[in-house]
Amino acid sequence: MTLLFLLVAALAGAVVLVYEKRLKEDGISKMQNYLMQVVNDSKLLDREKMTRIIDLFTQNNYKIEDMKKNTLIVSRREFSVGAALLWLSLAGIGLIVYLVYYFLKTPESLRVDLHTGTIHAN
């Protein structure tokens, strides 16, 4: 019975991990489309554009790490339910390993080009 539970947890973890990856890609794509609209909007002043861009990332739980004239570096730490389930399938002790990893890992950062509105992973 325990083996069945661990196999189901592993399968569910793999499915959720793939789903999380797709959601993340969709989210970044939507943010990039919005950024391009803001950057190319000639009606907005540069200050208004910057305010909207900063609001976009803060509303999506990103922390602004660095801001230069043409580049914005943002980061956020994400908890992966799929990875947690996969680690849980390693006899339960793996979940503790994943939690330690989550708190020790560095947040994922993105580099935003403020002239083109493109987002690049660092």
Range of the domain at 106: 2-121
Alpha-carbon distance of 84 to 92, in angstroms, equals 10
What 3-state class would DSSP assign to 72? strand
pLDDT at residue 55, rounded to an integer: 95
Alpha-carbon distance of 109 to 107, in angstroms, equals 6
Dihedral sign of CA atoms 32, 37, 42, 47 in order: negative
Contact 12, 83 (CB under 8 A): no
Contact 15, 76 (CB under 8 A): no
Please count the structural domains in the chain: 1
Amino acid found at 39 = V
Q: What is the pLDDT along the chain (122 residues), one digit of tens a residue?
A: 777 888 888 899 899 999 999 999 999 999 999 999 999 999 999 899 999 999 999 999 999 999 988 899 999 999 988 888 888 887 667 778 888 888 998 899 999 988 888 898 87
